[in-house]
């Protein structure tokens, strides 16, 4: 069941939008010249609706470039005045927020590290209270959908209705080709719980490298997201932060040219009938799966009772290893994704062990 928040659609605060929302600009504003030149180039593309630029840059470790500070707000004002593009930046505390609002910025967003702190989010919510600000909220660094929703709730309770979620990926728990793990399932859960929340994707921070931007952007549109935030710099090779994930405005245009925008629905009766037929088949198979899982768990309970009678431990690692190897091998023969099979049977076996330990703890 969804969570009820009073959220306005993007069209309500950006009436000239006629395509998915594309936000672009440098990771960091570095000089007035770099800011304005990049903005002028981006403004030539009618698909770019908002210019972004980092003013305060929270870095993982001290010593790296942490942004130009408040002077960057003046440069954003100049961009808006010259190009007509709405402008925005990231805020990480109450002071940043106050300065951004005073400078007349059109959009502010809360970064992943800040979203992870309810104290920081509440400070920002207190500042924007009573305004008509547009506030975007990036997912927290860990895939905690409740923490993400909590940040949105705090802002909505402060009267902010112009809200947008930004999916920028999560800190990876293992080595991947991307900088941050996409974990699309967390976005799906957010969309399920907040179906009226616009959500855009930040391929730059997921990718970490510009060569992956297109595939992530296309995936975002395939998932039904409402837009993209992609970092663009007049000359990424000399950018002071995150140069590997930025593209030139010309390269951005090429990415946008290739993207296929999917429709959420289509007015085609034949399509709808065929889709409904296929979905009915999936529903039937899901019912069978649940029934089979129920039968499997009943056998696991019986094994647990048998182990208890014979004073044998619930977990037997050799059996677990054998089971996982056999299921993965079978899955590959059946053309199933190895990671999917591994996760599925790990969950199943873990719950079997849990049930067996509960049986052993019964008086």
Q: What is the CA radius of gyration of the chain?
A: 24
Residue pLDDT, tens place only, 289-300: 999 999 999 999
Q: Is the pLDDT of residue 273 over 90?
A: no
As to burial, measured by CB atoms within 10 angstroms (0-12 exposed, 13-18 middle, 19+ buried), residue 266 is exposed
Q: Mean pLDDT across the chain, nearest whole number?
A: 93
pTM of the model: 0.83
* Residue 351: C-alpha distances to residues 232, 305, 348, 354 (Å): 47, 15, 5, 5
Q: Is the pLDDT of residue 2 over 70?
A: no
In this prediction, residue 216 carries a pLDDT of 96
In this prediction, residue 123 carries a pLDDT of 98
In this prediction, residue 342 carries a pLDDT of 93
In this prediction, residue 59 carries a pLDDT of 66
Q: Is the pLDDT of residue 174 over 80?
A: no
Residue pLDDT, tens place only, 182-223: 999 999 999 999 999 999 999 999 999 999 999 999 999 999
* Residue 339: C-alpha distances to residues 49, 75, 279 (Å): 38, 47, 24
Whether the Cβ atoms of residue 131 and residue 101 lie closer than 8 Å to each other:
yes
Q: Is the pLDDT of residue 141 over 90?
A: yes
**For residue 93, what pLDDT band results from cuts at 50, 70 and 90?**
very high
In this prediction, residue 316 carries a pLDDT of 87
Q: Is the pLDDT of residue 60 over 70?
A: no
**For residue 237, what pLDDT band results from cuts at 50, 70 and 90?**
very high
Token pair, residue 148, equals 């993400």
Spell out the domains of the chain, with CATH numbers in brackets.
10-258 (3.20.20.70), 269-361 (1.20.59.10)
In this prediction, residue 360 carries a pLDDT of 87
């Amino acid at each position: 069941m969804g969570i009820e928040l009073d959220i306005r659609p993007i069209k309500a605060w950006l009436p000239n939008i006629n395509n998915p929302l594309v936000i672009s600009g440098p990771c960091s504003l570095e000089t007035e010249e770099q800011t304005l030149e990049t903005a002028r180039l981006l403004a030539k593309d009618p698909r770019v609706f908002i210019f972004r630029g980092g003013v305060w840059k929270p870095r993982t470790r001290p010593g790296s470039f942490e942004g130009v500070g408040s002077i960057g707000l003046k440069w954003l004002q100049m961009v808006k005045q010259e190009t007509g593009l709405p402008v925005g930046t990231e805020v990480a505390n109450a002071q940043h927020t106050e300065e951004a609002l005073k400078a007349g910025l059109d959009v502010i967003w809360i970064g992943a590290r800040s979203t992870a702190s309810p104290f920081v989010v509440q400070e920002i919510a207190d500042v924007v209270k009573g305004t008509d600000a547009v506030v975007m909220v990036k997912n927290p660094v860990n895939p905690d959908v409740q923490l993400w929703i909590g940040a949105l709730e705090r802002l909505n309770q402060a009267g902010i209705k112009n809200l947008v979620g930004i999916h920028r990926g999560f800190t990876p728990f293992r080595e991947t080709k991307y900088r941050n793990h996409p974990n699309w399932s967390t976005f799906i859960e957010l969309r399920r719980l907040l179906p009226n929340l616009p959500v855009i994707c930040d391929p730059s921070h997921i990718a970490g490298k510009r060569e992956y931007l297109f595939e992530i952007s296309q995936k975002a549109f395939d998932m039904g997201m409402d837009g993209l935030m992609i970092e663009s710099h007049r000359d990424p090779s000399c950018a002071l932060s995150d140069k590997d994930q930025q593209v030139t405005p010309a390269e951005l245009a090429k990415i946008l040219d290739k993207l296929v925008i999917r429709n959420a629905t289509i007015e085609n009766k034949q399509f709808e009938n065929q889709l409904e037929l296929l979905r009915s088949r999936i529903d039937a198979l899901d019912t069978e799966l649940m029934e089979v899982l129920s039968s499997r768990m009943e056998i696991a309970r019986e094994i647990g009772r048998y182990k208890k009678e014979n004073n044998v431990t619930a977990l037997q690692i050799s059996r677990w290893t054998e089971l996982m190897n056999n299921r993965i091998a079978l899955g590959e023969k059946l053309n199933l994704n190895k990671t999917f099979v591994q996760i599925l049977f790990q969950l199943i076996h873990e719950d079997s062990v849990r049930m067996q330990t509960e049986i052993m703890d019964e008086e």
